[in-house]
Structures are given as structure tokens and as C-alpha cells.
Structure 1
Amino acid sequence: MRRSPFSAMPRSLRALPVVLAFTLGAAPVMAGPQERAQAAQARGDLRAAQLEWRNAVREQPDSAATRAALAATSLDLGDTELAEREARAALERGYDKGIGTAMLLRAYLISGRFEELLRDFPAQDSPALVGGQIAAARAQAQLALGQVEAATQSAAQARQLTPNATEAGLATAAVTLAAGDRAASEAALDAILAREPDNAEALVRKGSLQFERREPAAAAATFTRVLDRTPGNISARLRRGEAFMQMNEDAKARADVEVALAALPGSGPGIYLLSLLQARARDWGGADANLQKLGAVLGNFPDGYLVLATTKRGLGQVAQAEDAARRHVARRPEDPRGVKLLASLSMDGGRPEDAAAALSALAVRGKADAESYDMLGRIQSSLNRPREAAEAFQSAAALAPNDSAILSRLAASRLAMGDAEGTTDAANRAVQAGAQAPAARQMLAYAALFRGDLQTAAAEMAKLPPDVRRSENGQVLEGTLQLMQMDLPAARTAFEAALKINPQSNPARIGMARAANLQGMPAEAERLLGEILRQEPGHVEATAQLSAAAMPGAPRAQEARAVLEAVQSAAPAEPVLALALANVLLRGGDAPRAVAVLAADPIRSRAIPAVTLARAEARAAAGQWTEAEEDSREALAAAPESTAAHRQLAGLMVRAGNARGAEALIQQGLRNKPDDAALQQTLAGLVLQSQGLEAAMAAAERLAQQPAARPASLTLPGDLLVTARRPEDAARAYAAAAKTDASSALAVREAAAWRAAGKPADAVRVLKAWLAQSPEDADAMLLLAQFDIEANRLPEAEQLLRGVVTRRPQDAVALNNLAWTIGQRGGAEAQPLAERAFFLSPNPDTADTLGWILARNGKAGQAVPLLRRSAAARTSDPAAAFRLAYALQATGAKDEALALLTPALAGTNAFPERAEASRLLAELRGQR
């Protein structure tokens, strides 16, 4: 589903589709500027309305109603600083307390001052109207802070105090949506709309839900209801534009976007939507111009860099397109659109290996679609990797079972592997799907050949264009037909022609080998088969032919076995070759050597069931009965010596209701590997799930008392207490375990538990004591450095972090923290360290570090989107707000910087840059 640009809102607000609004009522009709303000509002010109209300306030500074109207309009424009000031002024002049309080609450929420709202507006029961409004707003703030349980309670209080109030219903809708219950959320909105059919806030929320479940027509209708009454509602205007885009009604979408931009020319979402519309219309120049207006803010939109990459490619600016595509993939590595675009650009640049790597990474993440797999298969085919190509096409065909082109390519890759059965199956499926292209015709001919239907094969070949018949595939097809017709000279001629076109052609070689065998030239056939298997070790037919030639009793068994042993030795991880050689050895009575082949790494470590079963057979033939039994259990359980296999099978058994069997399976695994931490944790988790904490603790203690299960088992009791949210008890449990056998894992866990319990001094004490005896422990160093940073002991932290990075150069956390500490003293190496950390792990922490370093280095435009991401994740952190404000003012966004700094410095929270922040605040105020 295409994501809305509004999903680029800070994370703390994204769970709530629209900021909670409070009914303000209608302002009284007045003469002069009041009338002009109301007229501007009626036509949707909020800027003009705000200007007129300002004029009205200057004329009547003591009018509470006028100030309230200015506050309300400012809220609609997102000017929370002015809104709050005027709302307070209205209250001081006797304005209705309920409405005035509602405006203040909304200002706090819009500006993200959630902690302050909870502090400044404690819960109250009387008067009920005000108490209900406060409770509803508190629910919103608590949700934004991740306090779901508290938010649920506040929403319940709002309903209790004001059961029929809009605010209570909106709070309920927000709470249920945050809990993932969209149906309950929409039901709450519908209840509001049953009482107030034109409530704008409820309608916008409902329309957003409709849009998200891909009901664009319904969403557009809902947003239209809002705009019919309040044409100046920018959010509804832009959301309707998105809905129109989802319906491919771009003209209507553009009209809405242009109206929104006329009211708010600097609207980032509006500019972004306009650039999307221009890109869809292939107006690459217009799209590029608007994307440039967004500057660094472009990165705030989920598809921002993807749109930029597409636009730059449309303009022929390949380097810029690839850079933008890489940025998108770095931010959203599981988005197939970005990966496919990046792969296409890599192919355009002549770098197929890079393209294959990007698509393979997407497949590993489990996010590849049919087109991605198809693209990967075509690239692998171009790199002469038929097996990998076949795997990719097979995955594509599973996702698009009726795509004849994909099925045809799957058939071709199977043919290149020498997989006759697979070729026939894929070709038949391609025919059923309606394949008509020359490639499909070739596959049909091959399928007919493999069925032995030479007449049909010849008929299909006759339908091919002359240039296709002269191609490599065409010559192989001709040679195969001649071979099946036993015209061996003609067959060899065709295969030799194919090899002249492509000297790496394995289909031609397999045909030549068949012809050589038929012509009584086994040595040539063995040579050709060996060449095929060195190039493609998994080639099914070549393996079958060579192993058949190597079987005892064959005329050249010894020579053929030597070739088979050589190719298997060159590719010891290939199961097809290992199984074939072991079978040959077993048939020759050499069971110990067969065991050696199948028991040797890397084939053994791959735990392939077929290999394991063959190994069991070989062990039995060699008289190794115990090992044979173990291998049989491994095969039946899909690799019982694998910890991952144990855990997966146990999970499936629990799911089937066989908890006792699952525990027995894990116990069995622990008997073989008693010190396996993952198996121990799985057992404890199973007991916790089925019998509760007390029984799980008892099981953990039993494991901890077993010397063979240590050291991993010693952490189990503390881990269970952490899971039960008893950190101080967990810390004591880790400390007790350390008396038995001290370890890094116990020290780090104990320190983390003390910190979670609110006792950082104890955490530092534990880590320092451990590092005194284990000075090379990078995990302990990293955690202690984090504590030093939090306590502003930056030189100590830097020293520790340099040690960690030396030992673990790819540790993103260590790189980020080291960059931060160096950046605090202005070190030049801070920026490259921060960039490396962000690339390895793009998250709010690394964004904050890199953004602040960039801002300090005079690159505020690049810093703003990074610092926005950080501030959104730290809504109660004044330091994060200051850093963003610093960058904003450097870009000229001084009003926004002031709006951030004012609340950030209103409290008494200390942070290292507080003095600098105070100076910046004074400077910004002086410029107003």
C-alpha cells in the first residue's frame, strides 16, 4: 500500500492520525476586522483571517472573545506560540474556562509538549466539563509518550466525566487505535458523528482510516464533508488529494494540492504531493524543482528519496538518481521499489554484480516481490549462474503463478541446469498461462523433446524466427532434436555452433557429452561433464551422467570416479555432488570413505536432510550404529543437532498443543548441548508460558546448579526476573550467580538491571569492578562508556569507546557514541565516524549525533531532518529540542526554533548546552 506523506510525522505523533481538537464554538459576529476575519475563514483563507483577528485585538485588546478567536485561528494554522499566548490572555479577561482550557491543551499537543501538558494540567474531577477535556488531552499526551495504560485510564476518566463529549470520544478513538483495534477506533468516531455529523476532527480521522484500508472513494467523500463546511482545513484538503491520487484522479488531486499551497505556500506535505503528481505526469523538471524546495526536509517523507531518484533518472542525471536510490534503500531496506530501482541503475551502469547483491539482500529479508525475483533471475542468468537464476525464477513463479514470461524464464534456467523434469514442468505451466513469445516457443520445443514428441518439437521450432534459430539456444535446440533423431554429426555441428557463440554454454556441452557417449568417445564425454560441473556444480544431468559412468562395473568406472572425486573436492558444499560420490563409493563397498565425504564440512554443517539420511545409511554400512541412529533422528527432525531446528520444532509443537513434547525435545537437545544458552532460554520460556514464573525460576535454578550447563545457565534466573519487570531482584540474582562463576554476561546484565532499577552508581560500580579484572571486555566497556556519557564524563567515555571501536570496528553503537564524544570537543574525526554509524544503523540516536555534528560544521540544512528525527523520539528532552532549534535558526526557520526553545527552557532540567540554549533563545526573542 502506498504510504501517505503524513506518515513522516514524528514517531510519537504517528500513532494518532490527527492532533486532538477541541470544540471552540462560534465567535460572535462583530463589525470591522471581525467581519473580514470571518469572511476569510469562510473562504478558507486562514492567513488573512489571522491577520484580521490580529487587527481586531489591537483595536480591542481587552476583548476576551476576540483574543479567543485569534487563538483558534492560530491553532488551525499551527501557530501554537501565538495561540497559547492569546488563549491565556482570553482566560485572564474572563473568557469561558472550558473553551479557553481546550485551546491551551490543543496548543500543547500540537507543539508536542506532552510532558509539560501532564505537568501543567493535572487530572481533576470538577468542574466536569473542564476535567473531561483535561483527561482527554492527558490521554493524548500519554499515548504520545508511550504510556498506553495511563492513556487508557485517562480516556476512561474523560468518558466518565463527560460521557457524551466529543473530546472523550476522540480520546477513546485514539487509545483504541494505538492498541491496534481499528474497528473500535472507528466505532468511537462513528458515535461522535452520530451526534455531530459535521465534526471536522472525527471526519478527518475517519477518512484517514478509510484511506489506510484502501477505500479512497469513501475517504475522499469523508474529507469532502469537512471541506464543504470548512474549506480552509488544510489537513482535509491534502488528505483528499491523496485519496484522489489513489484513485488515479490526478487532476482533482492537483486542484486540492494547489488550493492548500495557496493557503500555506511553505507546506512540506503540499509541496511533496505536488512533486509526486508532477512525477506521475513525467514532468521531471517540475518535480525536480519542487523536490529541491524541500531540501533536507525531503528525507522526512517515506518515499522522498525514491521520488527524487525516479525524477533524476527521468532527467538523465544518473549519478544523482543512484545516490538518491541508495539513500532510500539505506532508510527503507525492505522496500522492493527502491531496491529494484537501485538494481536497474546498477545494471545501467554496467554493474550486474551490484544489482544482484541488492536484490539478493532484499530476498534474504523476505520482502522481495515477484518482479524483484524475476529481475534477480534475469541478472543471474546474465552472469551465467543458472542454478541461482532458477531459484529466483522459482520464487517469482510462486508469487505470480500465472505469469507466462516468468514461467518461460524458469524453464530456460532449468534447462541451463540440465534439469529436464523441471524444464518440462515450467514449460507446460508457461503454455497453460498463455505464453506466446519466441522464448516460450523454445521452451515448448524443449518440453516436447523431453517428452519424446519429436514431431511437436520440430513443429514448434519451425515457428521460431530465423535469427532465434541461429542463436545459442536455437542451435542447442536444433542439436538436441538431431541428437534425439540420432543424426550425431548434425547434432555435433549444432552444438559446436552454439559453443562458438557462447564458449561457456553448458547446454551445448551436455549435448556434446551425450553425442560423445553415443559415438563411443567416453573420455571426451567425461571431460565435458567435468567442465560442466566445475562451472555449475549442481548440474543435475551432468552429475547423473558422470556418476553412472563411475559405477562399479562400468567400462571406465575408475577414470569417471576420478573426475567425480575431483569436481566434488572442488565444490565440497554442493549436496548433489556429495550424494552422487557417496553413492558411487557405497556401491563399490567403500563405506568409510562415503561417511568421510558426507561427514566432512562444509556439507555436514549445512544440515541438509537428504545428506543426513545418506550419512546415516553410510554409517550403518560401516558398522557405526550409534552415529547412524543419531543421523536418522537428525534427518527426521530436520537437523536435531541444530539449536535453531530445536527451537523451531519446539515452537511448532507448542502451537499444536504438545507442550510436554516440546519440553522433552528441548531437554533432549540440552542433554547433547547442556551449555547452549538458546536452548536453556527456550526451556525456561516454555515452563514460564505453561506453568508460570515460580516453576520457571525453579527450572532455571536446577540448570544453574548443573556444572555442565554453565556459564550460560547462570544468567537464567536474572533473565526471568527482568522479564517479570523486577530489575532490582534481577540485579541481585546476577550478582549471586557471579559469585559462582563471574562472567562478562553477568556483569553487563547486572549493571543494566541496576540502571533499570534507578541505581546508576551501583551499575558503574559493577562494571568498573569487572573491567579491573577483564580489561579487554568490549561489551562492558561500551556500557560503562554509555553511563559516562550520561554523567557528562566525556574524556573517560572517549577512552573507553576508542577501545571498543578498535576491537569492533563495525559496532554502530560504539561508533556513534565515539563520534558524539569527539564532536562535543569539536574533533575533526567526529563526522566520518557519525556517518559510518548512521549508515550501519540509521536510528534516532545515530541521527542525533550526525545531525548535531553537521549543524556544528555549518551544514544545518543537512542536519535538520536528522535532528527532527531525534527530537521526535525524545519529546521530553530539552537538549534534543535545543539541537534542532540551533539547526533551524541557522536555516532561517527562526520562528520554529523559538517555538521549540521556549518550552524546552521553561523547565529546570539541566543539560550541557543549557547556557548556550538560553543565549540562543534571547537572541531569537530579540529578533522578533
Structure 2
Amino acid sequence: MATRFRLPALTLAAALAAAPASASVERAQAAQARGDLRAAQIELRNAVRAKPDAGDIRAALAAASLDLGDGDTAEREARAAMERGYDRAAGTVLLLRAYLALGRFQDLLRDFPAEAGAPPKLAATVAAMRARAQLALDRRDEAGRSAEQALRLDPAGLEPNLAAAVVATATGNRGAAEAALARALTADADNAEALLRQGALLFEDGQFRPAAEAAGRVLSRAPGTLQARLQRGEALLRLGDAAGAQADLDAVLRAAPGNPPANILRAMIFGQAGDWRGADEALQRISQQIPNIPEALLLLATVKRAMNQPAQAEDAARRYFARRPEDGRGAKLLAAIEMEGNRPDAAAGTLSRYAARGPADAEALDLLGRAHMAAKRPREAAEAFGRAAAAAPDNAGILGRLAAARLATGDTAGMAAAAQEALRVAPDGATARPMLAVAALSRGDAAAAQAELDRMDAAARGTEAGQLLEGSVRLMRLDLPGARAAFDGALRANPESIPARLGLVRVAIVERRDEETERLLGEVLRRDPGNAEAGLRLAAAAQSGSAGARAALEAAQAAAPGELQLALITANTQLRAGDPARAAALLGSEPLQNRRGDAGLQLLLAEVRAAQGQWDEAEAASRAALAADPASAPARRQLAVLLARRDDARGAEAVLEEGLRAAPGDPVLQGGVVGLAQQVGGLDAALAAADRLAQRPGGLPAAAPLRGDLLLRAQRPEDAARAYAAAFQRAPSQVLALRLARAWQAANKPAEAAAALNAWLARTPDDPAALSALAQLDMLANRNAEAERRLTAAVERAPQDATALNNLAWLTQQRGGAEALGRARGLAERAYYIAPTPETADTLGWIRAQGGDAAAAVPLLRQAVAASAAGRPAPDPGMSYRLAYALRASGARDEAMRVLEPVLSASTAFPERAQAERLRAELRAGR
């Protein structure tokens, strides 16, 4: 921390040497020699009372008072000295310095004009002091001209060169400042101000030892020079010599107990020793001056933070940041305090304002990334961490956090690159290996995840993160007991762990332990009401008819009534369950009153009011949602639907058109326009609207498939295909190619569908979606080898495509043999881990059953059958057959028969019907 000193030009020693001898003057000289300026001032007051007409003694008293910071006495005595015949030039210097000490800059410029005709040296001194006053008033150009005038009048003079040095320092001209100080020291080799200013420049360069020596030269002649003791004390503090610094500060504080720089430095010494109470007491001695000293505000914020007084710490840090927004120290301290107060948005705002002013350092960017991550903005976090890593490329911690942020955005390739860089910097992998393991898990690669886990040392594997990784790998491989043991271990070691509970939830879902699942999800929401995964899982279970899930969700919401997202999930669940009255009551509850301006809340409330038949209220809520977020396309579409319901088609069209003027390519608004046109004028009107949207500037690419979509929904697949083909010819895209193929499939023309996909692949040979779609056509035509080849290429390019993985696993297991079955199992595990759907559960369960692991297969196949039956008259018959097969293999013959009978009693045809009938016969025969 750089301390600004008030620097004297006329020392007390010089003034005493010129004063007439007397007992009091002699005692003042002795006090000055031992550095006791207060005693020297007292003795000089006595001398003035004894000889009131002695101008030299009054001048000495003025000089002593200046050294003590007593500007009032200095001004009074300087005037009295000149009235009693003291040298005019020397007295004027004292008077001018008194004005400066008192901050009377405007008065100095008024009372001491740059008069022509004065002796050159005096005129030069006045010009030099005017330069200082103008600089203090931030009139830099005027200060520069005054300093130049002073140098013209007296080029080698002390005061002109000191003024030139002051101005050059303030304007950042380091070379000019050094040259001016050199000339000043030529004029007076022992001048205190020149030596101390020279020492200050050395201090800025980090040359603390020479800076301390420069101050020591001043003190060797004038031990009572407070500014010299302050400068030496601060330099010694930077050199680690706290005792030497304290000795200098004690000398200053004996003479001037309220000296702000001395108290600030003393507080720093206490802080370095961890004595925060002592630091606080030192700062309290200058509490009135602290708001005017930015560095003191920064130190106060640091001290109050260490004393766990966050409100006072934040107030001081905020005031410092307002005064010095370009200083990263203040920005980082304020942001850290805001983060500790669980206000990551505020911290991100503070750091963003700082970073916007110019290049930010790695520490600030790292903290900005952490704030964005805490605020659940991984994309912004990744950008901040990326800038931090560029500024500090060998910081493994930053690289690890960059990897985590990229992973959260779905950028697994970027995550892997950052993690590998972290490993380069820190080969022990403590930061990076868990990230690489998580990335492998996210793409369903159990082998790679296990390899990274194996490379972690025992200590790392024993942490919560290590146990969670262990559990996740075992869960992927359907080692349910092992997964449960790992997650239980993590929970025992960390009883509040949310990830461990969510891991156990995933195990319980596979094991179909519904009560345990709902209990664990409720525990998660009680600890973290904003946890989206827990809220959505409970909501899905509740909407599937689970009264326990709905009760757990509502209990969690009641425990955190002000949590907006949980309230929206709960109200939506109540609405879907046919209970709009409860949903309305929840959304209108008192804890959410201050969130009534939220667009999402108003949008859901509009839907609830519509379900209640309260159409006016629904429209009012839609308008409120749109007022809260004019860019919300769903709010505009909902309002348009409500207006159209009351036959205000013109109003509905105006609402949508207003949105399209700002966002002509918004697919939600385009869909609203087409839907409204069809409602009012039928299909032809909708087709015309689709054509207009496609021709509108900015309407593409979202409007390109609209015409084809309308025709496909109207059961006119060939017309739809022609519309897609025409749009594709104008502007080829993956979306149009896939929809064109789907239309030809709906028209039962697989060759044309394949041609459409091949036309796109001719442009982009590696498009995984097109490869996967073409593989499905191959599978339907029993071209399994060709389908497998295409799916292998698709999976290589899109390793997280669960559908492609699942289809490839199904094809691979059909080849038979232990090797094919092993590869199929790995693919199916990845697909199920990425997307645990009925289809992936069925594939993995069937592969496990064929591999002789019926115990692991049955839970998966049960899950598939139960999910396939949701909302349908009966479960999928093929899935039911495979479940029965696994049940028979596990010894549950009676249950296998109960599963098969209803499937085979129906006349439904399915590919596995013959195998299912054969299985039933074997079961009846007791085999």
C-alpha cells in the first residue's frame, strides 16, 4: 500500500539554526535532535512568549508546526514573523506551505498571484507553490505552465525543481520527475522533500532498501521529520522488518497520535501478525479521516472481513471500489465478500464492471468464473475461466475449473483439452483426473472413467468426489450393490451431500424402489430447494400417478415457500394432475408476492386460469408475463391463443406480428402465426402464412420447413416431401434433409427417403444425425451390416447420441458370440447411462439376460415394461417377452407366466411372438 506523505521543504533544523539563542530555543534544538517535535514546538512557544518580536523564533515555530501538521499555527506564525522583519522570501515559503497543509488551494491562488516585478527567486517560489495548488485542484495544464514559469525564472532553484518533480510525477512522466529531483538535490543535497520524493520513486519500483536509506539520510539530520519516519517505516515493513517499522511509527505517533498514515501502517503490522482487533483499534483512531483515504478503506474492509463483520467489510470495500474502480484489489475483495454472503450475481456484476475497464488479472477472472458457476451460468463461467487460463496458463486449479465449466455446458471436447492441460501442469492429476472421469461418464464410457479412477491415489478416491465417481462407474455397469455401497459411503462421510443422494436415487430407480426414491428426492429438496433434477424427477413421478411423489414435492415446496422454481414445478404438477385450484392458490401465495413480476410465474398462472375457465384472468396474466419480458415468445403466443379464443383474430395477429418485427426468425412466433391462420382460414390460409414467413427477411431458416410440416400433419406426406424438397433446393440444411426423409417414409417410399439422406451426406459426409437416420432405414430393410457400419460412424462423431448407441448395441448383439455380446453390452451401458429410457433399459436388460446375468437384467426389463405401459392400454409386447425370458432365467417362473399370458392372449402381432409362444409352452411344460 503506497502512503501519500506531506513533504516539507524548510526543515525545523534549519529554522532553529537561524533563531536567536535562548534557553527555550536550545531546549527546542535538543528536542528536535532526539526527534521529539511536540516538545520542540512547546519550547518554541515559550520562546515566542519570552521574545514576541523575534521574527526568527516565530519562523522556527512555524516550521515546527508544519512538521507536526499544525497548519493553523504555521500560517499565523509565518505572518507574524514577516511582520517582525523576517526575510520576506523565506517567510513567504512558510506561509505558502501552511496554505498547502491546510488545503487552502483556492485561497493560495487568490492571495499569491503571479505578479510581475517581484525578485526572480521569490517569483519563482510563488509560481512553484501555485503549481502545487493547481495540481491539488486537478488543474494539471495550469500546474504544468506554472512549474515551467518557475523554472524559467530560476532554472537551478530548489522550489521550482521540486514543483516540476511533483507535476511530472502526477502526470506520469517518470523521467522528467527524476531529472527535476536530481537538479533539486544539486541545489540542496540534503533537502528532505527531494530525498523523500526520490525514495518514493524507488519504493514504487520495489527498491525498498534504497527507499529506506533515502529516508534515513533525512532522519540523520532531522530525526523529527515525521514523513521520513513514515516512508522508512513503510519500506521496512515491506522488507519484513516489522520491529524496525514499528519503532519509526511509534516515534510518529508520539508526536502526532492521530496521524493517518502512521495508524494505517500500524494496522497493517497488526494485520500481518493476525491481530485483527489491534488493527481495528488502530483504524478507529482515524475513523473520521478514513472515508477520505482510499487505501484506508481497503484496509478497513480487509480487517472487518477477517473479524467476521461482513456488513462493515462490504461497506468499506464498496466505497473503495467506487473511488478506485480500476483497482483489482478492491474489486476482488468486494466480490469475495459478496460471494461469502451467497450473492454470486452481485459478485459477478462487481467483477464484470472491473474487467470492462481494461485487462483483468487471472485472479479476478478466476473469481468471476466462480461467481458465474455459483449463479448457474456455466457458459459465462467457461468464458471467464478461459480468459483466466490465458493469463495464467500454468495454474492447474484454474484449468481444472475451466474443465468443469466446459463440461457443464456440454463441451466435452473443450473440457478434455482443459483437463489435459491441467495434467500437464500438475501431473499428479488431483484436479484434472476427476474431470476426465466425469467427462467419460457423461459420454457413457465406463472403461475410460474407470481408467481415470484407477490413476487417482487412495486419498483422492476416498474423497466425496472419488466415491461419487466410483458409484457412478459401478452404476453404469449395473453393479447396483457396488454403486449403492459407494454412494452410501459418500453419504456417511458427508451427511449433507446432495450428489450422494442423487446417486442413490438413480440406483433406487433401477431397482424400482419408489418409496426410497421419493424419500431421497424430498431430502435433496429440503437441503437445496432449487435443485432442478430433484424437483423434475418428483414432478415426473407425481404426474405418472404417484401420490407419494406429489406429497413429497408439495412438502418440499411448503418448507421453502419463497423458492420460485420449486413453486413453478409444484404448481405445474398440480395443474397436470387436474387440480388447477391448488396451483392457483400456490402461485398467488404470500411468499411469492414479491415475485409477481416474474414472466414465468405469470405465464403458468395464465395457463392455470385458463384451466379454471377464468379467461379474463388468464389474458391478464399473459399480458403481465409479456410486460415482464417483452421478448418472451411463449408469452406472446399464449396471449395470441387467448385473444383468438374470444374471436379477436386481429388482436392475436397484432401481438404475434409485434414480436416478429423484433425477432423475425423466432420459431415459436412463426408457429403461432401459422396456427392462428389455420384456425381462422384452414389449411390453405396456414400454407399461405408459411410461405409469407419463409419470404420475410430474417425468417429463415426457422420458416423453411413450415409448409412441409403443415402438409405432413394433414396426412399428405408426398405433398410434404415435395415442399421439403423445394425448401432444401433453395437452402440445403440438415433439418430439411431429415424431415424430407421422414415424409418419404410416411409415404412408404424408403428409397426416396434414403436418397434424400444421401443427398445431404454428399454435402456433409460425417453428419451423425443423417447417418443414424439412414441406418434406421437399413435396419428396416434388414441391411444390418450396412446399418451397423453407419451407426459406428455416427457414434464416433456423436458419442453422446443415446439413440444411435442403443441401435448399434441392438444390432451388435444380434451377431451373436461372446465378443459381440461384450461389445454390445458396453454400448448399451453407455446409452442407458446417458438416457435411461424404456428403449435403452430394454436393450441393456436383454443383452444382460442373454449374457447369463438375469439378476441384473430383470430390474431393467421391469423398468422398460412399466414405462412402455404408461398411458397405453398394454405394455409393449416385445418388451414383455424379454422380461418373461429374464424372469424364467432368474427362477421366477410363475411371474414369467403372468407377464406372458396377457401379451399372447391378445391378437397383436409382434416380431418375437413365435419365441414368446415357445417360451410359454416351455413354462407350461415345467422347463
Asked if the contact 1:495/1:508 (under 8 Å) is kept, the reply is no
Structure 1 range deviating more: 219-228 or 79-88: 79-88
Task: Report the residue type matching 1:40 in the other structure.
Answer: A
SS in 2 for 1:596: coil
Deviation at 1:49, TM superposition (A): 1.2
The 2-side partners of 1:507 and 1:461 are apart by 17
2:237 is the alignment partner of 1:238: no
The CA deviation at 1:233 is: 0.7
Distance in structure 2 (CA, Å) of the matches to 1:321 and 1:49: 40
User: 1:182 maps to which residue?
Assistant: 174
1:724-763 per-position Cα deviation (integer Å, ceiling 9, x unaligned): xxxxxxxxxxxxxxxxxxxxxxxxxxxxxxxxxxxxxxxx
* Mapped partners of 2:3, 2:60: distance in 1: 32
Question: How far apart are 1:279 and its partner, in Å?
Answer: 1.6
**Residues 144, 328 of structure 1: alpha-carbon distance in 2 compared, 3 angstrom cutoff:** closer
The offset of 1:429, in angstroms, is 0.6
Contact (CA 8 Å) 2:335, 2:346: kept in 1 or not? yes
Aligned to 2:910: none
Residue deviations 1:560-602 (CA, integer Å, cap 9, x gap): xxxxxxxx977999x9x999x99xxxxx9997699526699xx
Q: Taking CA–CA contacts closer than 8 Å with sequence separation of 6 or more, which of the two structures ends up with the larger relative contact order?
A: 1
Deviation by residue 1:512-565 (Cα, 9 ceiling, x = unmatched): xxxxxxxxxxxxxxxx9xx99xxxxxxxxxxxxxxxxxxxxxxxxxxxxxxxxx
Uncovered stretches (5+) of structure 1, i.e. residues with no partner = 7-16, 512-527, 533-567, 583-587, 601-617, 625-928
Which of 43, 66, 77 is the matching residue for 2:34? 43
Partner of 1:283: 275
CA radius of gyration, larger in: 2
For residue 541 of structure 1, what is the aligned residue in structure 2?
none
What are the Cα deviations for residues 81-137 of structure 1, in whole angstroms up to 9, with x where unaligned?
A: 332332233323322222222222222332233333333333234433323322322
Supply the distance in 2 between the matched residues of 1:149 and 1:333 (Cα, whole angstroms). 25
CA gap of 1:599–1:183, structure 2 versus 1, over 3 A, is farther
Find the residue that maps to 1:294 and give its secondary structure: coil
The structure-2 alpha-carbon separation of the partners of 1:507 and 1:393, relative to structure 1 and needing over 3 Å to count, comes to farther
Distance 1:461 1:97 in 2: 85
1:81 aligned residue (72, 80, 95): 72
Deviates more, 1:294-303 or 1:311-320: 311-320
Instruction: Give how far 1:298 is off.
Output: 1.7
SS in 2 for 1:95: coil
1:432 aligns with 2:408: no
1:154 aligns with 2:257: no
Match of 1:121 among 97, 102, 112: 112
Question: 2:239 corresponds to which residue?
Answer: 247
Native 8 Å contact 1:279 1:307 kept in 2: no
Is the Cα–Cα contact under 8 Å of residues 453 and 461 in structure 2 kept in the other structure?
Answer: no
Paired residue type of 2:22: A
Q: Residue 263 of structure 1 corresponds to which residue in structure 2? A: 255
CA–CA separation in structure 2 for the residues paired with 1:37 and 1:193: 27
Instruction: Summarize the Cα distance change of 1:257–1:619 in structure 2 as closer, same or farther, 3 Å threshold.
Output: farther
> Which of residues 286, 298, 303 is equivalent to 2:295?
303
Are positions 1:372 and 2:364 aligned together? yes
The change in CA–CA distance for 1:152 and 1:317 in structure 2 (over 3 A counts) is closer
Match of 2:129 in 1: 137
Q: What is the SS of the residue equivalent to 1:207?
A: helix
| SS of residue in 1 equivalent to 2:287 | helix
Tell me the CA shift for residue 252 of structure 1: 2.0
State the Cα deviation string for residues 701-736 of structure 1 (Å, max 9, x = none): xxxxxxxxxxxxxxxxxxxxxxxxxxxxxxxxxxxx
Residue of 681, 690, 699 corresponding to 1:596: 699
Query: What secondary structure, in the 3-state scheme, does the structure 2 residue paired with 1:412 have?
Result: helix
**Are 1:34 and 2:25 an aligned pair?**
yes
Q: Which residue pairs with 1:59 in the alignment?
A: 50
Relative to structure 1, the CA distance from residue 505 to residue 186 in structure 2 (aligned partners, 3 Å threshold; closer, same or farther) is farther
> 1:213-261 CA distances to partner (integer Å, 9 max, x unpaired)?
3332222121111111111111111122222223333222222111110
Q: CA deviation at 1:364?
A: 4.5
2:294 alignment partner, SS class: coil
What is residue 386 of structure 1 aligned with on the other side? 378
User: Distance between the aligned counterparts of 1:304 and 1:171, measured in 2?
Assistant: 27
Decide which moves more: 590-599 or 218-227: 590-599
Amino acid at match of 2:53: D
The 2-side partners of 1:591 and 1:481 are apart by 51
Q: Which residue, out of 388, 411, 424, partners 1:396?
A: 388
Once residues 508 and 299 of structure 1 are traced to their aligned partners in structure 2, the CA distance between those partners, rounded to angstroms, is 54
Q: 1:319 to 1:206 in 2, by over 3 A?
A: same
* 1:420 corresponds to 2:412: yes
CA distance in 2, matches of 1:470, 1:137: 67
Structure-1 separation of matches of 2:238 and 2:362: 22
Compare 71-80 and 353-362 and name the one that shifted more. 353-362
Q: Deviations over 1:832-884 (max 9, x none)?
A: xxxxxxxxxxxxxxxxxxxxxxxxxxxxxxxxxxxxxxxxxxxxxxxxxxxxx
Whole-Å separation in 1 of the counterparts to 2:19 and 2:90: 14
Pair 1:70 & 2:70 matched: no
The Cα of 1:280 is off from its aligned counterpart by 1.9
Distance 1:391 1:146, change over 3 A: closer
Residue number among 200, 224, 228 corresponding to 2:192 in the alignment: 200
Whether the 8 Å contact between 1:219 and 1:243 is mirrored in structure 2 is: yes
Shift, 1:479, TM fit: 5.5
Contact kept? 1:370, 1:400, Cα under 8 Å: yes
Residue among 196, 203, 214 paired with 1:211: 203
Shift in CA distance, 193/448, structure 1 to aligned 2, threshold 3 Å:
farther
1:296 partner SS: coil
Shift, 1:177, TM fit: 2.8
Aligned residue type for 1:248: G
1:153-205 Cα shifts (integer Å, max 9, x gaps): 43334333333221122122233334331211111101222342211111111
Q: What is the number of residues matched between the two proteins? A: 539
The whole-number CA distance in structure 2 between the counterparts of 1:139 and 1:287 is 37
TM, length-normalised to structure 1: 0.50
Contact 1:125 1:161 in 2 (8 A): no
Write the letter of the residue equivalent to 1:61: P
Per-residue CA distance 1:759-790 (angstroms, 9 max, x = gap): xxxxxxxxxxxxxxxxxxxxxxxxxxxxxxxx
After superposition, the Cα gap between the structure-2 partners of 1:438 and 1:77, relative to the gap in structure 1 and judged at 3 Å, is: closer
Query: In 1, distance between residues paired with 2:503 and 2:415?
Result: 12
- The answer on whether the counterparts of 2:10 and 2:63 sit within 8 Å (CA) in structure 1 is no
Distance in structure 1 (CA, Å) of the matches to 2:694 and 2:463: 49
1:283 shift after superposition: 0.9
Question: Contact between 2:397 and 2:422, CA under 8 Å: does it hold in 1?
Answer: yes
Deviation readout 1:2-49 (Å, 9 max, x if unpaired): 34365xxxxxxxxxx746658966315613111111111111211211
Change (3 A) 1:594 1:128: closer
In the superposition, relative to structure 1, how do residues 294 and 473 fare at CA in structure 2: closer, same or farther (>3 Å)? same
Letter in 2 for 1:94: G
Q: For residues 77 and 349 of structure 1, do their structure 2 counterparts lie closer, same or farther at Cα, with a shift above 3 Å needed? A: closer
The residue identity in structure 2 corresponding to 1:97 is R
Whole-Å separation in 2 of the counterparts to 1:389 and 1:239: 42
Code of the residue aligned with 1:4 in structure 2: it is T
* Cα distance in 2 for residues equivalent to 1:461 and 1:420: 18
Alpha-carbon distance in structure 1 between the residues aligned to 2:695 and 2:464: 48
Equivalent residue number for residue 658 of structure 1: none
- CA shift, 1:149, in A, is 4.4
In 1, Cα distance between equivalents of 2:502 and 2:175: 58
Q: CA-to-partner distance for each residue in 1:273-299, whole Å, 9 max, x for gaps?
A: 212221221112211222222223221
Q: Distance in 2 between matches of 1:371 and 1:150?
A: 40
What is the identity, as a one-letter code, of the residue corresponding to 2:42?
Answer: L
C-alpha change, 1:194 and 1:466, in structure 2 (3 Å) is closer
